[in-house]
């Protein structure tokens, strides 16, 4: 009688119990999972697994196996093969990640894997011609994936942009951004939700993928809605990255909007990010098309006032009264961007003085208001009295 041969297996796939699962069961039973207890239970599971394999191998040598036993042996071998391949694959990914941790992460992660390493992993796979795996085996495999944290494999499994049915064109069901302009508001809302769902910045390739797959032209109106939506969700990083990504593009570089940057200043102010707001404000002063107007000065002043940065606020007032550089002024004829601070800006100075306990700022502010012919309002007197 010929010996029954199962599908070819990997060379001695070592069984490794799930220590996290053992710890969880111990906690559920009210037992503290000390290293010694976990080690003993892990050792028992390995012994139990080895006894099962030895029993099945002896049975196959001494007596013919039944159909159910053949199928069980094939399923066990196939399951261990899949498990071994998965572990080898994750090891290759982690090793590649460690090697490239100092470099800028550009492109798709799977393109950075060594092809030789992938070929070695793929060469170990074997064809399985038996029946389907039992539910118990599939459940065990699912638990193993969950324990390995699927978020490590999101770059493989995540679709990032879920295309809605109403965005597909006609019977061919093809993605056509040009033929769904009537749903622009829905696309913007959907993009804002996807960007807000994770900590993602412009350097991440997924960010570029989401922005491009939205099909938007990123006009001034669209960008104002995107920045405003992200600001309402408190996602100032994504809002800053969205503006930088759009205006770093060659096609959109010529259409930079002062209103978009002013909106971005308001978002950064709401998130209490004065240093990032100062960086954006400095960028605006270096471009004649983005040069700050009174709304931008109001926004940056309120942000600095809330942060208690008196010195920076005085510098902003000086910037308002300074003439721009010749290079910027020559780009626009008959243009005079010089402005005088108003009550809102002086109130911001008082607010900064309250936070920094600089009571001498009250007399200076009231003196400047008198020289400018401005009348203090209720907020001015309230802040002065508080100070």
The per-residue pLDDT for range 313-362, each reduced to its tens digit, is 999 999 888 888 877 777 777 778 888 999 999 999 999 988 888 888 88
Which helix (DSSP H) or strand (DSSP E) does residue 358 occupy? none
Q: Which two tokens stand for residue 159?
A: 């679709």
- Please write the tens of the pLDDT for every residue from 18-52: 888 888 888 888 788 888 888 888 888 888 888 88
Among the listed ranges 6-10, 181-185, 260-264, 306-310, which one has the minimum average pLDDT value?
A: 6-10
Q: Is the pTM of this model over 0.75?
A: no
Q: What are 201-216's pLDDT values in tens digits? A: 777 788 888 888 888 8
* 224 band by pLDDT with thresholds 50, 70 and 90: very high
- 92-99 long-range contacts, Cβ below 8 Å, gap at least 24? 92/117, 92/118, 92/121, 93/152
In angstroms, the CA 51 to CA 94 distance is 33
In this predicted structure, what is the pLDDT of residue 4? 46
CA angle 20, 24, 28 (to 5 degrees): 170
Cα(147)–Cα(18) distance, integer angstroms: 8
What is the chain's mean pLDDT, rounded? 76
CA distances in angstroms from 30 to 19, 20, 24, 27, listed in the order given: 17, 15, 10, 5
Share of the chain above pLDDT 90, in %: 19
Domain segments of the chain as ranges: 19-157, 159-255, 289-387
Token couple for 142: 């699912």
CA distance 274 to 281: 10
Those residues with Cβ within 8 angstroms of residue 194's Cβ, 6 or more apart along the chain or in another chain:
160, 161, 210
Contacts 24+ apart (CB under 8 A), 153-157: 155/108, 155/109, 155/110, 155/206, 156/110
């Amino acid at each position: 009688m010929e010996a029954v041969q199962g599908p070819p297996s990997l060379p001695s796939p070592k069984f490794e119990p799930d220590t996290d699962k053992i710890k969880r069961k111990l906690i559920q039973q009210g037992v503290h999972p000390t290293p010694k207890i976990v080690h003993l239970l892990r050792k028992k599971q390995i012994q139990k697994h080895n006894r099962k394999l030895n029993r099945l191998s002896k049975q196959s040598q001494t007596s013919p196996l039944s159909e159910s036993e053949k199928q069980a042996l094939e399923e066990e071998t196939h399951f261990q093969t899949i498990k071994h391949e998965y572990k080898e694959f994750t090891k290759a990914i982690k090793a590649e990640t460690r090697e490239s941790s100092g470099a800028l992460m550009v492109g798709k992660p799977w393109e950075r894997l060594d092809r030789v390493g992938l070929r070695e992993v793929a060469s170990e796979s074997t064809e399985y011609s038996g029946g389907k795996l039992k539910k118990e085996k599939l459940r065990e495999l699912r638990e193993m994936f969950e324990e390995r944290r699927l978020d490590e494999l999101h770059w493989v499994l995540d679709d990032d942009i879920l295309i809605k049915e109403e965005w597909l064109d006609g019977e061919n069901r093809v993605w056509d951004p040009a033929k769904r302009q009537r749903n622009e508001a829905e696309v913007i809302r959907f993009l804002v939700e996807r960007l807000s769902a994770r900590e993602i910045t412009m350097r991440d390739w997924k960010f570029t993928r989401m922005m491009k797959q939205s099909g938007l032209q990123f006009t001034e109106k669209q960008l104002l809605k995107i920045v405003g939506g992200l600001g309402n969700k408190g996602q100032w990083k994504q809002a800053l990255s969205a503006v930088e990504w759009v205006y770093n593009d060659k096609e959109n570089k010529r259409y930079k909007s002062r209103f978009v940057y002013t909106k971005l200043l308001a978002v950064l102010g709401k998130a209490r990010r004065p240093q990032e707001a100062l960086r954006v404000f400095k960028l605006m002063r270096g471009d004649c098309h983005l040069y700050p107007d009174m709304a931008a000065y109001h926004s940056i002043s309120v942000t600095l006032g809330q942060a208690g940065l008196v010195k920076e606020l005085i510098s902003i007032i000086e910037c308002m009264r300074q003439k721009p550089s010749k290079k910027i002024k020559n780009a626009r004829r008959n243009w005079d961007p010089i402005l005088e601070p108003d009550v809102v800006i002086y109130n911001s100075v008082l607010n900064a003085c309250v936070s920094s306990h600089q009571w001498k700022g009250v007399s200076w502010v009231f003196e400047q208001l008198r020289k400018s012919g401005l009348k203090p309002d209720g907020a001015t007197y309230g802040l002065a009295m508080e100070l």
